[in-house]
Every structure is written in structure tokens, then in C-alpha cells.
Amino acid sequence: MTTQIKNVNKNYGSFNALHQINLDIKEGEFVAILGPSGCGKTTLLRLLAGFDSPSSGEVWMNHKLIANLTFFLPPEKRNIGMVFQSFALWPHMNVRDHIRFPLKHHQFLSKELKPSIDHRVDEVLKMVDMLHLGERMPSELSGGQKQRVALARAIAPKPALLLMDEPLSSLDAELRKGMRKEIQQLHQVTKASIVYVTHDQSEALAMADKIVVMNKGKIEQVGTPKEIYNSPTTPFVASFVGKANLIKGKWEGAAFYPFHQPSIKWDGTAVTSELRAKNLFPARPEQLELSLSDDGVKGIITNVQYQGKEIHYTVTVEGEEWVIHQDIFAEFSIGDEVTVHLKEWTYGKKMDERKELHFA
Amino acid sequence: MLQNVMSRVQNQNKWLFFIGVGFVVVFFVLPIFRLVFLSFSSEGSFTIGNYTSVLQDRSTWKTIENTLYVVGGSSIIAIVLGVMTAWVVAYTNIRRKKLIQVFIFLPFIIPSYITTLAWTQFMNKNGFFAHLLSLLPGSVDPLNMYSLQGIIMVMGFSHYPLVYLLTVGVLRKIPRDLEYAARVSGASKWQSFQKITLPLAIPGIASGGFLAFLASLDNFGIPAFLGIPGNIRVLSTYIYEQIVGFGPNSFERAATLSVILGFIALTGTLVQWLLVKKSKHTETAVEDKEPRFLLTKRTRLTIELLLWSFLLVTTMVPLLSMLSASLIKAYGLPFALENISLKNYQFVLFENQKAITSLKNSANLAIFTAVVCLVIGTGIAYVRTKKPSMISKGLEMIIGIPYALPGTVLALAMIFAWMEPIPGWNPGIYGTITILFIAYVTRFLILQVRGSITAFMQVDPSIEEAARVSGSNGFYKWQQILIPLIFPGVISGALLVFLTALTELTVSSLLWSSGSETIGLVIFNFEQAGYSTYSTAFSSIIVLFILLIFVMLAVLQKVWDRRMLHHDHSN
């Protein structure tokens, strides 16, 4: 099933929660909506679910109009499943009953599934590895198990579109990584389109086919994880996803002169034209390098954080603070005067040789 | 086609909206409007003469003075007892807290006129307490209950659970680290209580105190049983006497006094509401039920002994005195085996026609009121929680007014509203049991609305959304998800309405007519006519019935909890 969002706006009083949103979700696609809290990502998801209606614009599913200003189809009449941030398990029902409920009531249940509901319950429980816990009540489950039940309930009726609202944010860090893998596997097995809302960029990068970065109710950029990470088109995407330092300077073609210093020239082949037009160079912490030599941008180290496999430095350059990640073999201390270089190999020869990426 | 469906739904909502507003205006707004209107009219013309004549009357000022003493004194007792018990239960490691809580709530569950009756029997010249005192050297008489002190004492003991209830929650929500931080900063136990705990608990204590104040202002049973025989009037009984006295201009005078009393009560309610609103920020904090002060064995035993003697003396002992009085053949005989009989019970249950009718009437009233309130109140609560808006909030406030108003004031408003709903047309509602039905639903609806709102609030919105995404938004969503989850809360609201209506006295004392007597009224009449043995027997039956219901409820709750395996409510 395909889903289209066309020119959607959503206002709460005078507050503009969503601004001119346009988005296509293809059949079987895993789309992550990424943004800080309050950016409108949850509003967008609730619009897709049918818990909210747009103030203007249209939502289409499967080539049918399902919501505009005057009309909208309630959630129970959409072919969707949803996983909630708080899991939303029903405290008075056991695990099997949770999965049986949508199988009994979902209005798009296929003809094959209808006669074999109990079989499907077993099948889904097996998928999430909960077959042995079917009689348990929610209060007897751990966080990860609750999450599996919530997932199983959502996928059981084989909905065409699966909505996930920060499903991993209530779990601890270790469990989160494990669940990522399970969600990816479920995506491969079910082949449903997934819209996955998150504020965690590593989750989005790891799982999605397509990432939609949102900020202040607007879409900043849409692209594959690699495009979003390596070729941000807005300063927000560069700093939010890649944690990049936004360095001011002058562009001449693909050459960048930080702080307009003609003696220092960085190769900016990979930087998008949008950022070039803003006279910015997005340098991620691992793209920069420190040394004591003379040729480069001068700075002073103001903070050092030891991380084990690398060291995170804060360097004050021309009054601005840059974050630079450096391996542990060269150590600097607070107060050291250093020069900052762009690592040549990242964007230079090695990348060209591999020809893995093509930049606009 | 779908657009048609949508517009039909919207039309339905519009109809519901108009029906709701019409319902509220007719049953809640108009009666009060009429009462105010009547207080400003004399023989069909507008005047403030009623106010000037009432306020020039010496007995009005004497009544206001008494009211101030009673309300002030009993509120102070309630606050002191409420805060002390709340602190001990919330913070120390005394044992059997659940049972203690049951005893604290007992005076709250048993109607105050029955508690009063119990106290009069306890303090009786031939009673248990007098017997105890006579064993002591010197000649000390038990307290004369038919006095201001008697009224203040019984009211204070009846209303301290309100302060307890609001304070204990607030105390538990104050993070223990705050007091620890004060201790580490060098404050003593007492200083940190004074400077940290107490200021943080003030919103809870103050709003509990205001509730006690309002309850005392509203209370009719205690001053009616203790004050009327001793010629001590407070505003609620004064209004009652005006109406039943049928003097010249008595209705206008009663209306005027009611507006004054109602105004004080509504102002108090507003202050209480603002206090609760102000303390909302602690609402999200979790209650910490672990003890914070680990007392040594000896201190703990001392406190437990003190607390239990207080609880038993203020609840069980008066009730037992009442029970023993009811078992005696004739009033005045000593409590001895040869004088014990069940003939008083036989009389009220099988022989006295009024008592039998009242049982039937009150049971009908209570069941009908509870069912109507259950349906309407839960509906209002659902709209209120799912679609919060200024309109629904305003609706809730208006629905709360009849409960905030003292019962005598509401009863009077009901008389004016339903005697002739449209001038010149008397549908025969006043003077039958129907007016009691209407008055009870109007007065107690808010109890169900609040109970159901609490029940809905405990269900996270995503719980319902999950049902909708699973394909159900109608019958099954309610039957399988929502109703099982809100059931305990909604039913306890309905039970509260049922019990309150069953034992109601204030409103029915003014709205009753021959054939529509209620339990409270019959007990009141027995007592006024001097038939203490009958009133105590009837009261004992009611108390036993109430306790039976609560035991049943506790068992039901246990079964329910086991079925739900509810270790946490978070998901």
C-alpha cells in the first residue's frame, strides 16, 4: 500500500504544529521520521493513524482520500497497525488475548487469516519469541517482553502500514540495540510499510530505507540514511544527524577557505550546494584532525573527554567551539595551542577510489 | 457517502450538545436562579426588604454567631486530628495501616446523624461513659451533648477524615530527599518538619480544612439532633425551622437566609478549588508509601496504643453504646441480661408502617439515583476526559453547584423550582417522592462524575487508541477494554451515590411528604419524639447494612485484583 501526504498543515490554535508537509511512502518501505522533541513528528504519525485530522491538505492511502479538512477516516477504518511509546498493553488481558483482539476486530483482515485465528496467534507469538509466555499478564512481563507483545499485536492482522511511535524509548540501552534487529527482521518478514518516529538518529540510520528529518513542524530533508548523514542539505540536518561543526568561510567551486583564510584550502567536493550557498562547511567531529604543526586553522583546547577508543576534544577556534574526535595515540591537554585539519582521506582519494558514493 | 456519515455524526453531536445544555439549565441553573429571585421579591415586586428585615433580626445574628463557633471550632478539631493522623500513617512505621485507615474513614461512611445518636447514647446519664466516670473519685458528669461543645465535638470527629484524606496523599508525594537534604544541612527533625514538610503540605492541609469547613456549614444532622432540643440554632437548622414553621413570609425569609448561606458556601468552594489547582504540580509525583521514620519498638507501641484508643473511643465505643441502647426493652433500664430483647428491632422492621415505608422509599431512591447518575455521570466524565474544553469544564462546575450548596439551600431551591415549574402550572411533583428523585440526582450527580473521571484518567489514552488501531471503536472497545478497566472506579462512585442517597437526611427533611418518608427522616422523627430505643435500633440496622456492603466490596475488590493481576497501574 502506498501513502501520500499532500500539503498538510496542522494548527493548534495559533501554533503551527505541521507546516506544508509532503511525503510519499512506498509499498514495503521503512520510513523513519527523525527530529527533536516538539518537531511535529508525533503529530504527523497521529495524522496517519487517524487520531488527528489535518487543518489543510490531504492524506491518501492506497489511492483513496482518507483525510482532509472536512472529512477523515477514523483509525479503525484504516488498514494500519500501531506500536505505542508506552506499549499501551491492556492490563486485564493476557498475551494471547492481546494478539487475538485485532485478529477479531481488524476490518482489513485477509480471508486466509479469518478461519485460523488461533493458528495466527501462535505464528505471531513465535515470530516475537513469546510462545512460551502466552498466558502471562502484562504486569508479569519485563520491558522487552512488553515491547514484543506490543509489536505482535500490531503486526498480527497483517496491516499494510505499521506505525511506530518511539517504540524503543522506554527500554534500556542494551535492550534497544537488540530490539532494533528484531524490528528489522519483522519488516523483512511482514513486508509492510513502516513509519517509525524517533528522536534517536542512530536508530533511524540503522533501520530505515528512508529518513525524513523534521524540525519546527517542517521537513528539513528526505533521503537515504547515507544521503542524510553524508550530504546534509541544511545546517539543522548537518548538526542534528551528523553532529557536524558548521564552519563559516568562503567557497570557490569545490574549494573551501575556512574563515576566509586564503592560505588554508579544504576539499569540499562532497558538500551539497545548499550548504555551499550558505557559506558553511559541515565538518563532523571525526572528519577533523588535530596537530601541533603550523599550517592549518589555529585553536586552543578547552575541554578533553576520554572515551576509551577515542578522545573528544572541544577546541575554541576564532571564538567558536568545535568538537573533534581523535584517536588515543596523540594526546593533547587543556590549554594546548593546536591546528585543525580536514582529514584528506575521508572525502578525498579513498572515497573516490571506492566509488561507493556519488555526490551531487 | 462517507461525507454524509461524517455530517450526520456532527449533527448527532450538535443534538447531544443541546440536550446536555438544556438538561443542565433546567435542573441545575433555573432552581438556583429562582431561589435568588425569590429572596429579592415580596408580593410580586422587587425589593431588598427581605435582606434588611432578616439582618435586623437579633435571632439571625445569634444564629450566625453560633454558626461561626460551630464551623470554626469543628474545623480546627478536624485539621489538628487530620494532620496528626495523616503524618503518623504516612511517615512512621506503625503496623496495620490499612486497618487504621478503615477506622479513620468509619465516621465518614456512617451518616453523621447516626454518629450523633451514638454519641448521645455514649454520653447519656445512664450510659457507659457515666458509669466509667462514677468509678472515679469525685463527681464528674459526662459532657452534655445538647450544647455548642457537643455539636463542635461530634462535627470535628465526623470531618477530620476529610483533612486526613487530602493531607496523607500530599505528605506521601513530598519526596523524602527534600527532608533529608534539610537534615544534612543541619536542621533537626522538628526544624525540617516545620520548614520543609509543613510548607509543602500546606495546600493539602488547607484544602482539607476548607472541605471540613464546608461540610460543617452544610451539616444538618448534628445540629438538628443536638441543637434543636437545646434551642441552639445554626444557619442550616434555622432555615429548616423557618420552612417547617410556616410563619408569615417564612419562605421569603428562608430564601434570603439560603442565599446568604449559599453564597458563603460557594465562596468557600471556590477558595478550596483554587487551592487544589495550586497544588496540582505535585499531582504527577508518585506516592511514596514506605515509612520515613523508623520508630523504636517502644515508641511505636506507645503511638499505636494512643492511636487505637483514639480510634476505638471515637468510633466503636459510641456505636456499641448505641447498639446496647437499642437492645434494651424500655428506655432507662440498666443494660442487663434480663432487660435485653429484640423487640425494638421487631417494631421498626415489621410493625411500624412509617419505618417499613421509609426502608422501601430510601432503597428505591438510592437505586434509582445511583443508576441514573451512573449512566449520565459516566457519559459526562467520558466527554470531559476525552474532549476537554471550556464548555465541558463549565458544565462540570455547574453540575457541582448543588453538591457544594448546603442541603437545606438546595432543598428550598427544589421546592421553588418544582412547585410550579411554569407559573400557574403544578405538575404534582412537589409533595410526592418524585421531587426527592430529582433533588437526589441533581445533588449527587457530581459524585459519580468525579468518580468516573478519576477512573477514565487512570486509563492512558493510548490504551483506547490501541483498541481503535486494532479495528474496534464501538461495542467491543467498550465491552472488552474500557469497561473492565474503569469498572472498579465507576462502581465505587456509584456505591458512594447509593449510600449517600440511602441515608440522606437534610434534603428529605424539607422535601418529604406523607408516604415519601426516608430512613433518615424516620430516625430523626423517632428521636424528636423521644423514642430513643427505636431510633437507635433503626440506626444500628443501617450501620450493619453499610458495613456489610463495605465488606462485600472489599471481597469483590480482592477477587477483581486477583483476576487482573494488577501489580501496577502504569500500563
CB A338 within 8 A of CB A330: no
Closest CA relative to residue A197, chosen from A89, A84, A102, A79: A84
Which chain A residue has the Cα nearest residue B6? A71
What is the least distance, in Å, from the CA of A268 to any CA of chain B?
47
Which chain A residue has the Cα nearest residue B484? A92
Question: Look-up: residue for cell 415505608?
Answer: B357
Secondary structure element (H or E) that encloses residue B9, with its range: helix B2-24
Please tell me which of the candidates B3, B460, B566 has its beta carbon nearest to residue A88.
B460
CA distances from residue B127 to B132, B142, B150, B320, B549 in whole angstroms, order as listed: 9, 9, 16, 11, 29
Mean per-residue pLDDT over chain B, rounded: 85
Q: How many residues does chain A have?
A: 360
Please tell me which of the candidates A91, A153, A163 has its beta carbon nearest to residue B571.
A91
In whole angstroms, give the CA distance from residue B568 to residue B571.
Answer: 7
CB A239 within 8 A of CB A256: no
Residue A146 forms contact with B (CB below 8 Å): yes
In whole angstroms, give the CA distance from residue A51 to residue B425.
Answer: 50
State how beta strands A193-198 and A210-215 pair: unpaired
C-alpha dihedral over A293, A296, A298, A299, to 10 degrees? -90
Q: Which residue has the higher pLDDT, B386 or A135?
A: A135
What is the least distance, in Å, from the CA of A206 to any CA of chain B?
27
Strand order in the sheet with A193-198: A80-83, A161-165, A193-198, A30-34, A210-215, A218-223
In whole angstroms, give the CA distance from residue A199 to residue B495.
Answer: 46
Which chain A residue has the Cα nearest residue B463? A88
Does B246 score more than 50 pLDDT?
yes
Q: Which of A53, A105, A133 to mutate to test the interface with B (most CBs of B within 10 A)?
A: A105
Does B446 score more than 50 pLDDT?
yes
% of chain B exceeding 70 in pLDDT? 94
Q: Which of B464, B476, B560, B571 to mutate to test the interface with A (most CBs of A within 10 A)?
A: B571
Does B567 score more than 70 pLDDT?
no
Which cell numbers hold the place of B106? 468509619
Closest CA relative to residue B570, chosen from A153, A92, A86: A86
Closest CA relative to residue B220, chosen from B243, B232, B237, B233: B237
Which residues, in sequence order, are CB contacts of B170 under 8 Å at separation 6+?
B200, B201, B203, B204, B205, B279, B282
Please tell me which of the candidates A71, A102, A137 has its beta carbon nearest to residue B470.
A102
List the single range of A55-59, A212-216, B502-506, B554-558 with lowest mean pLDDT.
Answer: B554-558
Between A and B, how many CB-CB pairs are < 8 A? 95
B485·A92 Cβ contact <8 A: yes
Closest CA relative to residue B417, chosen from B432, B396, B399, B438: B438
Q: Which of B386, B469, B475, B564 to mutate to test the interface with A (most CBs of A within 10 A)?
A: B469
In whole angstroms, give the CA distance from residue B532 to residue B121.
Answer: 9
Question: Which residues 102-131 of A have a C-beta within 8 angstroms of B?
Answer: 102, 104-109
Does B194 score more than 90 pLDDT?
no
In whole angstroms, give the CA distance from residue A189 to residue A168.
Answer: 20
In whole angstroms, give the CA distance from residue B420 to residue B422.
Answer: 5
Does B8 score more than 60 pLDDT?
no
**What's the pTM value of the predicted model, to 2 decimals?**
0.79
Question: Which residues 46-65 of A have a C-beta within 8 angstroms of B?
Answer: 49-51
Q: What is the ipTM of this complex?
A: 0.76
For residue A137, the chain B residues in CB contact (below 8 A) are 564-565
Please tell me which of the candidates A86, A91, A157 has its beta carbon nearest to residue B485.
A91
Closest CA relative to residue A17, chosen from A43, A53, A50: A43
CB A29 within 8 A of CB A210: yes
B472·A105 Cβ contact <8 A: yes
Q: Quick one: pLDDT at residue B501?
A: 94
Q: Quick one: pLDDT at residue B564?
A: 63
What is the least distance, in Å, from the CA of A64 to any CA of chain B?
12
- Torsional sign, CA A35, A36, A39, A45: positive
Secondary structure element (H or E) that encloses residue B504, with its range: none
Average of per-residue pLDDT across B372-385: 92
Closest CA relative to residue A98, chosen from A123, A125, A65: A125
Closest CA relative to residue B220, chosen from B209, B235, B205: B235
For residue B460, the chain A residues in CB contact (below 8 A) are 86, 88
For residue B2, the chain A residues in CB contact (below 8 A) are 71, 73
Chunked mean pLDDT (size 10), chain A, 360 residues: 92 90 94 93 92 92 90 89 90 90 89 89 91 91 92 91 90 85 90 94 94 95 94 94 91 87 85 91 91 85 91 91 88 90 60 44
- Residue type (1 letter), B463: I
Out of A162-176, B18-32, B492-506, the most confident range is: B492-506
A82·B568 Cβ contact <8 A: no
For residue B475, the chain A residues in CB contact (below 8 A) are none
A75·B469 Cβ contact <8 A: yes
CB A101 within 8 A of CB B467: yes
Q: Quick one: pLDDT at residue B336?
A: 74
Closest CA relative to residue A307, chosen from A323, A326, A322: A326
Question: φ, ψ for residue B351 (rounded to 5)?
Answer: -105, -40
How far, in whole angstroms, is CA A354 from its chain's centroid? 27
Which cell numbers hold the place of B364? 428505591
A139·B471 Cβ contact <8 A: no
CB B450 within 8 A of CB B382: no
Which residues, in sequence order, are CB contacts of B233 under 8 Å at separation 6+?
B59, B62, B63, B66, B223, B227, B241
Angle at B373 between CA B372 and CA B378, to 5 degrees: 115
CB A199 within 8 A of CB A35: yes
Which chain A residue has the Cα nearest residue B562? A92
Which residues, in sequence order, are CB contacts of A2 under 8 Å at separation 6+?
A24, A25, A26, A27, A60, A61, A62, A63, A193
Q: Quick one: pLDDT at residue B148?
A: 92
CA distances from residue B227 to B215, B221, B519, B539 in whole angstroms, order as listed: 17, 10, 21, 19
Residue A70 forms contact with B (CB below 8 Å): yes
Which chain A residue has the Cα nearest residue B487? A92
C-alpha dihedral over B124, B125, B128, B130, to 10 degrees? 130
In whole angstroms, give the CA distance from residue B265 to residue B258.
Answer: 10
For residue B6, the chain A residues in CB contact (below 8 A) are 70-72
B492-525 burial code (b ≥16 CB/10 A, e <16): ebbbbbbbbbbbbbbbbbbbbeeebbbbbbbbbb
For residue A102, the chain B residues in CB contact (below 8 A) are 469-471
Which cell numbers hold the place of B260? 446568604
Average of per-residue pLDDT across B263-277: 83
Which cell numbers hold the place of B362? 430510601
For residue A85, the chain B residues in CB contact (below 8 A) are 462
Which chain B residue has the Cα nearest residue A73? B2
Which chain A residue has the Cα nearest residue B1? A71
Does B142 score more than 80 pLDDT?
no
In whole angstroms, give the CA distance from residue A200 to residue A212.
Answer: 13
Which residues, in sequence order, are CB contacts of A62 under 8 Å at separation 6+?
A1, A2, A3, A79, A160
CB B435 within 8 A of CB B414: yes
Secondary structure element (H or E) that encloses residue B534, with its range: helix B532-564
B469·A89 Cβ contact <8 A: no
pLDDT band at B285 (very low <50, low <70, confident <90, very high): low
Which cell numbers hold the place of B31? 432552581
Residue A148 forms contact with B (CB below 8 Å): no
Please tell me which of the candidates B566, B567, B571 has its beta carbon nearest to residue A87.
B571
Question: Which residues lie across from A198 on neighbouring strands?
Answer: A34
A102·B471 Cβ contact <8 A: yes
Question: φ, ψ for residue B111 (rounded to 5)?
Answer: -55, 145
Which cell numbers hold the place of B484? 473492565
pLDDT band at B10 (very low <50, low <70, confident <90, very high): low
**How many CA atoms within 13 Å lie on the side-chain side of B521?**
23
Is residue B114 exposed (0-12), middle (13-18) or buried (19+ Cβ within 10 Å)? buried
A92·B460 Cβ contact <8 A: no
pLDDT band at B566 (very low <50, low <70, confident <90, very high): very low
pLDDT digits (tens, 9 = 90+) for B53-111: 888 888 889 999 999 999 999 999 999 999 999 999 999 999 999 899 989 988 878 89
CB atoms within 10 A of CB B97: 16
In whole angstroms, give the CA distance from residue B368 to residue B440.
Answer: 9
- Residue type (1 letter), A331: E
B460·A80 Cβ contact <8 A: no
List the single range of A157-166, B172-181, B233-242, B462-471 with lowest mean pLDDT.
Answer: B172-181
**Which residues of chain B approach chain A closer than 8 Å at the C-beta?**
2-3, 6, 460, 462-463, 465-473, 476, 480-481, 484-485, 563-569, 571
pLDDT band at B4 (very low <50, low <70, confident <90, very high): very low
CA distances from residue A77 to A43, A159, B140, B275 in whole angstroms, order as listed: 19, 12, 79, 44
DSSP letter string over A21-68?
EEEEE-TT-EEEEE--TTSSHHHHHHHHHTSS--SEEEEEETTEEEE-
Question: φ, ψ for residue A306 (rounded to 5)?
Answer: -80, 130
What 3-state class would DSSP assign to A18?
A: strand
Residue A75 forms contact with B (CB below 8 Å): yes
Q: What is the CA radius of gyration of chain A?
A: 24
A90·B481 Cβ contact <8 A: yes
